[in-house]
Amino acid sequence: MKVMRETIVSTARELFRSRGYAGASMNDLADAVGLKKSSLYVRFPNKEALVPAVLDLTLQETFGQRDPGSKQWDAEFVEVIELIATTLTDRGRCVGLHLAYGTSDETPIAKDAVRAFFQAHRDNLASILSRAMPADVARNIATDTLARLEGATAFVAIFGEKDAMKRAVRLSIEEAKNAAAAKPLSSR
């Protein structure tokens, strides 16, 4: 029976997240979705092609359903980073980071996909923040917020601790609000 493409992609994501690019095998993926290995090559030309698919799906789930500007900038910011933080806490690892560490010049397609993934995250966050502060400040806060969430995820992965993630969310929100108050947009 036909297996849906999204099933393959989201299962590949689980494997990449937990075992990394090198550690996830096409055979494991095939078993997990109930196919034979060779059938996967009908859908994807090779293992590397799974990486953009996995990261695009994740981007879609994170930013795809949003309605930019429907809320106050701060409510929107809180909503997005809490969604990201919850996913990272629940899954215990970040697929994007595992793939970032696990890809290299030998896997250029995967490497590009990883860059696009994090660039999209930063751009989306900066876009929200830039409604209340200058673009350069927004970009830095977006970067630091993502860095904080990634770092806090390490403590979930290593110790199972969720406290660091809670503080990361709280401190990032505070930082954004402080910046909005200290450097409001002059052009309005």
Partner DNA sequence: GTCTATAGAAAGATAGAC
Partner DNA sequence: GTCTATCTTTCTATAGAC
CB-count exposure of residue 95 (10 Å: 0-12, 13-18, 19+): buried
Given its own copies, DNA, none, residue 72, with its beta carbon under 5 to 8 Å by kind, binds none
**34 contacts DNA (rule: CB under 7 A):** yes
Given its own copies, DNA, none, residue 45, with its beta carbon under 5 to 8 Å by kind, binds DNA
Q: How many CB atoms lie within 10 A of CB 11?
A: 20
The tally of CA atoms less than 13 A away on the side-chain side of residue 80 is: 30
> Which of positions 108-127 make contact with its own copies (CB under 8 A)?
114-115, 118-119
Q: Which is nearer to its own copies, 49 or 116 (CB)?
A: 116
Interatomic CA distance for residues 143 and 135, integer angstroms: 12
- The alpha carbon torsion through 163, 164, 170, 176 (nearest 10 deg) reads -170
Q: Which is nearer to its own copies, 27 or 119 (CB)?
A: 119
Given DNA, its own copies, none, residue 28, with its beta carbon under 5 to 8 Å by kind, binds DNA
Residues at the contact surface with DNA, assessed by CB under 7 A: 1-3, 24-28, 34-39, 41-43, 45-48
